[in-house]
Structure 1
Amino acid sequence: MWGVRKGCGWLISAGVLCGIVATAVFAKEPDFPPNGTPYAQAKASLLRQGLKLAPDKPVHPDPHNRELDCDPPGSTDCQALFLHKEEDGWRFYVLVPVDVRSGKVNDIHFAWRGEGHEAIPPPEPPDVPKLRGSYGAARQKLRKLGYMPIRAVGSPGRTCANEECNRTLVIREGICASDIAVCEMFWRAPDGRILEVMTSGEIRGGDIDYVTWSTWSKQRWTTE
Structure 2
Amino acid sequence: MTRRPVSIATGAVALALSAALGAPLAACGPSRPVAAAEPARAAASPAVGAPYAEARRALLSQGMTPALDQVESPHPSFPELSCPSGEPAPCRALFLHKDTDGWRRYLVVETTAGPAPVVTAARPPFTAEGLLAIPPAPAADIPRLPKTYLAARQALIRLGFKPTHASSEVFSTCSTAPAPDGSGACAADLPLPEIKSCAGTGAGFCEAYWLAPDKRVLRIVTVYEPQPGDIYHLAWATPAELAKLPAGWKP
Fold match by TM threshold 0.5: yes
Distance 2:126 2:170 in 1: 25
Alignment-derived partner of residue 209 in structure 2: 186
Question: Which has the bigger relative contact order, CA under 8 A and spacing at least 6?
Answer: 2
SS in 2 for 1:107: strand
Worse overlay, 199-208 or 52-61: 199-208
In the superposition, relative to structure 1, how do residues 153 and 53 fare at CA in structure 2: closer, same or farther (>3 Å)?
same
Alpha-carbon deviation of 1:140? 3.1
- Asked if 1 retains the 8 angstrom alpha-carbon contact of 2:67 and 2:80, the reply is no
For residues 75-224 of structure 1, what are the structure 2 equivalents within 5 Å? 77-101=90-114, 103-153=117-167, 157-161=171-175, 162-164=177-179, 165-167=184-186, 170-174=191-195, 175-179=197-201, 180-203=203-226, 205-218=228-241
Alpha-carbon deviation of 1:105? 1.2
Task: Decide which of 25, 28, 38 is 1:23's aligned counterpart.
Answer: 38
Over residues 36-57 of structure 1, what are the superposed CA-to-partner deviations in whole Å (9 max), with x where a residue is unaligned?
Answer: 2221232233233332222326
Worse overlay, 200-209 or 92-101: 200-209
1:90 counterpart letter in structure 2: W
Alpha-carbon deviation of 1:203? 3.7
What residue ranges of structure 1 are gaps of 5+ in the alignment? Answer: 1-12
Computing the radius of gyration over CA atoms, which structure comes out larger, 1 or 2?
A: 2
Aligned residue pairs total: 205
| RMSD (Å), alpha carbons | 3.2
SS in 2 for 1:151: coil
Question: TM-score normalized by structure 1?
Answer: 0.73
Question: TM-score normalized by structure 2?
Answer: 0.66
What residue ranges of structure 2 are gaps of 5+ in the alignment? Answer: 1-31, 247-251
Alpha-carbon deviation of 1:98? 0.6
1:59 maps onto 2:72 in alignment: yes
